[in-house]
Amino acid sequence: EAQVTQNPRYLITVTGKKLTVTCSQNMNHEYMSWYRQDPGLGLRQIYYSMNVEVTDKGDVPEGYKVSRKEKRNFPLILESPSPNQTSLYFCASSLSPDSRKNIQYFGAGTRLSVL
Amino acid sequence: AQSVTQPDIHITVSEGASLELRCNYSYGATPYLFWYVQSPGQGLQLLLKYFSGDTLVQGIKGFEAEFKRSQSSFNLRKPSVHWSDAAEYFCAVGLTDKLIFGTGTRLQVFP
């Protein structure tokens, strides 16, 4: 089954404790992206990757890191989480990089709480 | 700058009633438009998309949307709402490197 898999689905942590949220897709997609969803703000892009070893900042990249060493995986790293990073996070992928014509497929989301 | 506005934060309808969710966009060229639905505890699922051609677009689950260039709108409609349609709905415009989302409309359905 074609899917984007995020882990964990729920995570509670404390300020400053490094964490990684994994994202994997099995559709051989070139493009992957991370969004965060906050009430009243919709979804905002954090980072994206057009292909292996190619990543770029989105609209809200501060406090986050990503890597794309393999085509299928795109982990999101919070080196020193802070309470303002409490949010619902979504990973997405699409066949090719142009988001105008390519449908993005979303994971089920990771709800993160930073205390 | 490109943007998407969903004026209605929360809409409540009775089951069986018709539905229209509003979406307005700001984009300099021909827009590529999407509607996604997020059911409780789920990821986002694509309902329909508009790239070009016929301005009335049919999607899944009985939804349709109409692109109106003169009004910069892409409103989502359904003739008869089911209780399972209760969810949050997002309109988005596609750029080369990302989707820009509206703030979402939460739909509540009463029996």
CB-neighbour burial class of residue A67 (10 A; exposed 0-12, middle 13-18, buried 19+) = middle
Our CA-based measurement puts residue B45 at a distance from the nearest CA of chain A, in whole angstroms, of 7
Find the chain A residues whose C-beta atoms sit closer than 8 A to any C-beta of B.
4, 33, 35, 40-45, 48, 50, 56, 58-59, 90, 92, 97-104, 106-109
Find the chain B residues whose C-beta atoms sit closer than 8 A to any C-beta of A.
4, 9, 32, 34, 36, 41-46, 49, 51, 90, 94-99, 101-104
Q: What span, in angstroms and rounded, lies between the C-alpha atoms of B70 and A84? A: 39
Query: Each residue of A5-49: pLDDT tens digit?
Result: 999 999 999 999 999 999 999 999 999 999 999 988 999 999 999
* Nearest chain B alpha carbon to A56: B97
**Cα torsion angle, A89, B101, B89, A27, sign:** negative
Q: What span, in angstroms and rounded, lies between the C-alpha atoms of B76 and B59? A: 10
pLDDT at position A1 over 90: no
Report the pLDDT value the prediction gives residue B100, as an integer from 0 to 100.
92
Complete DSSP assignment for B26-55: E-SSS--EEEEEE-TT--EEEEEEE-SS-S
Q: What span, in angstroms and rounded, lies between the C-alpha atoms of B34 and B39? A: 16
Query: Each residue of A42-70: pLDDT tens digit?
Result: 999 999 999 999 999 999 999 999 999 99
In this prediction, residue B96 has a pLDDT band, given cuts at 50, 70 and 90, of: confident
Report the pLDDT value the prediction gives residue B17, as an integer from 0 to 100.
97
pLDDT at position B44 over 80: yes
pLDDT at position A115 over 80: yes
Q: Cβ neighbours of residue A76 under 8 Å, at least 6 residues apart?
A: A20, A21, A23, A34, A46, A47, A64, A65, A66, A89, A91
CB-neighbour burial class of residue A74 (10 A; exposed 0-12, middle 13-18, buried 19+) = buried
The SS3 call for residue A68 is: coil
Q: Which two structure tokens, joined as six digits, stand for A45?
A: 């892009």
User: What percentage of chain B reaches a pLDDT higher than 70?
Assistant: 100
Chain A residues lying within 8 Å of B96, measured CB to CB: 97-100
Q: Decide if A106 and B104 are in contact by the 8 Å CB cutoff.
A: no
Q: Which two structure tokens, joined as six digits, stand for A75?
A: 């982990």
Query: Each residue of A75-104: pLDDT tens digit?
Result: 999 999 999 999 999 999 999 878 788 889
Cross-chain CB nearest to A90 (options B44, B46, B103): B44
